[in-house]
Structure 1
Amino acid sequence: MELKMLTSLTRGQPGVLHNCTKSLVAFEYTRGAPRKPHTLLFVGGLGDGLGSVDYLGDIVRALEPTEWTVFSLVLSSSYGGWGMGRLGKDIDELAQCVQYIREYKTPQFGAGKVVIMGHSTGSQDVLHYLNCPNPRPPHPVFDKSWTPIIRTPVDGAIMQAPVSDREGILWVLKCGTERDSPAAMRNLYNNAVEDARRATYEDDDTVDTIVPISVTARIGYPASAPVSSRRFLSLVSPDSPEKPEEDDLFSSDLSDEQLRQTFGMVDARGLLNQKLMVLYSGRDQSVPPWVDKEALLLRWRTALDNGGDRQLWDPRSMVVPNASHALSDSDQAEPRRILVERVTAFLDDIQRA
């Protein structure tokens, strides 16, 4: 059984539950009612929900004496909803929460700072928020009666554990599992991709089909979460690196030109007022051993800063030594200390700027 460090979240944490919209909620971690004009808005990864990322408790505690509060957003794709979700809808909901926070806090404190932070797939949401056209392009199936949402700029952004789902799956295929050999895994994967491509939608192409859970569970996804053919193809991105799908933002084999279309578009979109900080886990269980993490961060920095007139990469960005994916293992005290130190210093700079 995994031993987890006791955090303020596991002990229970007071705060305020906000209805950002009728169906979208966020929890603000706050003790009492001190003056808190600035906001760190946190988005978890696949399968995450309120309080499921342990290190967030360390950040909440560190920010208690400051003028920052932490909002944790519960997306429609949170918990088991990720398999039916998509980045486009995520950033719409993120935009609604950013707008809500500004409208909620400004009358009380004046204009405050808002920083968005993503863990794992939450990092994909952060980058998609910053680099996607504004408003985003509509989805041909699900956005026929959709009202475009204009995203407002944020003051800073943090990506923690921005890993490639596709490379994680490729590693499973290469190594196999206790149940399946690499050859059996590859056959299972190829059949799943072929079936998903052949029948991505049903009912006159208006409804998602579902990849059999018996298949997705053997590939490595939780057996408790249904995964649509559409999201499966986006995550595994079978035509990459030549033609990456929406979710394939962080793979190490993407070309410099492809990175210019993602990281390199951030400055042009004008949705990041100050800096982007990336904290990559040095011992991330989801990253194959062939990925050179330091080299990958350098390529991202080059694409981001060469994409416009401003230098948007924060120099505190780093590969955190010995850090696991979510910094939840029993030996993660030092990686978590580094993470909290970097995040609080980053927010301090954002506040002073």
Structure 2
Amino acid sequence: MNHRNDSLHIKSLPGELCLYDEQQHLAAFVAYPGNKAMVIFITGLTEGLFAPSYFGPLAKALYTRGFTTVQPILSSSYHGFGRSSLDQDVAELDTLIDFLSLQYEPDSFFLIGHSTGCQDAVTFFRKGRNAHRIRGIVLQAPVSDRDFLHSLPHAEERLKKAEEIYATQGPETLLNDPLFTSVFPVLTARRFLSLAQRLGDDDMFSYDLTDEELDARLRHMRNVPTYAIFSEKDEAVPDSIPYLDLAKRLCAVMGATCYMLSNANHAISNSEDCTREFIEQVVNFIEKVYSSTSE
């Protein structure tokens, strides 16, 4: 007999699909609309609606506690990330919040970032026009794309070739060499270097960053309640990196609450127990922050 918990295998949700940016034809899915507090969920590289797999169960759990979850499609969603940037994501998130504010009149916004969505959340809170409206942030699997890319074969060759193409052919040149397409199908030299170059725009969580470098990139997170949730078995983290030590260091700089999910992988897709644990942690954090700041 299959005893699986159907609440963790949600493939459809009630909600509204909204066009929040008519010029760029960008849409967002608003799950369980009607609550005054809205949680914006930002996915990682190559992902879009209903990714990762815990999105549906998380949205339903948040709804039962009085929160509406919003998942936007950004220009960087799916394979659009290869031509996009964190700054463009920030601008589109600002447009999204403007739209949601007019359409639904929420009293609060929260952000949840998954994987590279964490870079978006961190950057938005530093640069976003609506950053002051964010009441709390959850970072799930805030890992270093640079550390991961450096662990792959031909990493140094790939980096040097991207730097050469950037300098000689321009930052928006598409990297069509199999050296790159074997990793990412559509990618500009600029975006690759943002992900792979030391102190590139996306380089926020790397193990070799100094205290001063981390401080410059993350210290502003001390101004918002932040919950950083790491996965013990995260396949995007090279085995050579002491991940627990790095997690504690990152959280210390951000002033964040740190939580390590035992045995969970990058997207928390390998264990229903881990999924339940993660959802419980997120919902409790958001509810606690919302209650404390509403008093």
TM-score (norm 1): 0.75
Alpha-carbon shift at residue 339 of structure 1 (Å): 0.6
Q: In the TM superposition, what is the alpha-carbon distance from 1:70 to its structure 2 partner? A: 0.7
Q: What is aligned with 1:81?
A: 80
Residue of structure 2 equivalent to 1:57: 56
For 1:26, the equivalent position in structure 2 comes to 28
Q: CA deviation at 1:334?
A: 1.3
The share of aligned pairs that are identical, in percent, is 26
Confirm or deny that 1:168 pairs with 2:148.
yes
Is 2:163–2:189's contact at 8 Å kept on the other side of the alignment?
Answer: no
Q: 1:77 to 1:200 in 2, by over 3 A?
A: farther
Question: By how many angstroms is 1:197 displaced?
Answer: 3.1
Structure 2 equivalent of residue 99 of structure 1 = 98
Q: Distance in 1 between matches of 2:269 and 2:165?
A: 34
In structure 2, the partner of 1:115 is 110
Distance (Å, rounded) in 2 between the aligned partners of 1:115 and 1:186: 36
Q: State the match for 1:233 in structure 2.
A: 193
Q: Tell me, what secondary structure is at the counterpart of 2:233? A: coil
| Preserved CA contact (<8 Å) 2:8 2:54 | no
Q: Which whole-Å CA distance do the structure 1 matches of 2:66 and 2:169 have between them?
A: 47
Change (3 A) 1:64 1:212: same
TM-score, normalization: structure 2? 0.89
Q: Distance in 2 between matches of 1:334 and 1:321?
A: 10
Match 1:159 to one of 126, 134, 139: 139
CA–CA separation in structure 2 for the residues paired with 1:28 and 1:227: 30
Cα gap change, 1:53/1:6 in structure 2, threshold over 3 Å: closer, same or farther? farther
Partner of 2:164: 195
Counterpart contact for 2:11–2:56, Cα < 8 Å: no
Separation in structure 1 between the aligned mates of residue 252 and residue 234 of structure 2, nearest angstrom: 23
**Structure 1: tracts of 5 or more residues without a match:** 135-148, 174-184, 202-206, 306-312
> Which is helix-richer, 1 or 2?
2
- Cα distance in 1 for partners of 2:279, 2:77 equals 24
Give the match for residue 257 of structure 1. Answer: 212
Which residue, out of 147, 160, 181, partners 1:217? 181
Q: CA deviation at 1:93?
A: 0.8
Query: Cα distance, 1:24 vs. partner?
Result: 2.4
Q: 1:249 to 1:5 in 2, by over 3 A?
A: farther
Show the 5 A alignment for 1:270-281.
272=224, 275-281=225-231
Is the CA contact 2:113–2:120 (under 8 Å) kept in the aligned structure 1?
Answer: yes
Alpha carbons 1:280, 1:320 under 8 Å: kept: yes
- Shift in Å, 1:152: 4.1
Q: Residues 19, 163 of structure 1: CA spacing in aligned structure 2 closer, same or farther, 3 A cutoff? A: same
* Distance 1:28-1:234 versus aligned 2 partners, 3 A rule: same
- After superposition, the Cα gap between the structure-2 partners of 1:28 and 1:196, relative to the gap in structure 1 and judged at 3 Å, is same
- Give the counterpart letter for 2:119 in structure 1: Q
CA shift for structure 1 position 63: 2.2
Deviation at 1:14, TM superposition (A): 2.0
Deviations 1:193-243 (A, max 9, x none): 343332352xxxxx710111522133x33xxx3100100111111xx2xxx
1:334 to 265, 269, 273: 273
Distance apart, 1:262 and its partner CA: 1.3
Following superposition of structure 1 onto structure 2, how do residues 263-342 of structure 1 map, counting pairs within 5 Å? 263-267=218-222, 272=224, 275-305=225-255, 313-314=256-257, 317-329=258-270, 332-342=271-281
Deviation string 1:47-105 (CA, Å, 9 cap, x unpaired) is 00111210111212212322101100110110110111100000111122123222322
One-letter identity of the residue aligned with 2:65 = T
Report if the CA contact (8 A) 2:89-2:120 is conserved: yes
How far apart, in 2, do the equivalents of 1:9 and 1:192 lie?
43
Cα pair 1:42 1:71 within 8 Å, conserved: yes
- Kept after mapping to 1: 8 A contact 2:41/2:111: yes
Task: Give the conservation status (yes or no) of the 8 Å contact 2:59–2:68.
Answer: yes
- In the alignment, the residues of structure 2 paired with residue 56 and residue 304 of structure 1 have an alpha-carbon distance, to the nearest angstrom, of 25
Mapped contact 1:95–1:152 kept (Cα < 8 A):
no
For the 8 Å contact 2:261–2:274, the answer to whether it is kept is yes
Instruction: Identify unmatched segments of 5+ residues in structure 2.
Output: none
Q: 1:131 to 1:64 in 2, by over 3 A?
A: closer
Amino acid corresponding to residue 13 of structure 1 in structure 2: L
2:278 is paired with a residue of what secondary structure?
helix
The whole-number CA distance in structure 1 between the counterparts of 2:96 and 2:122 is 16
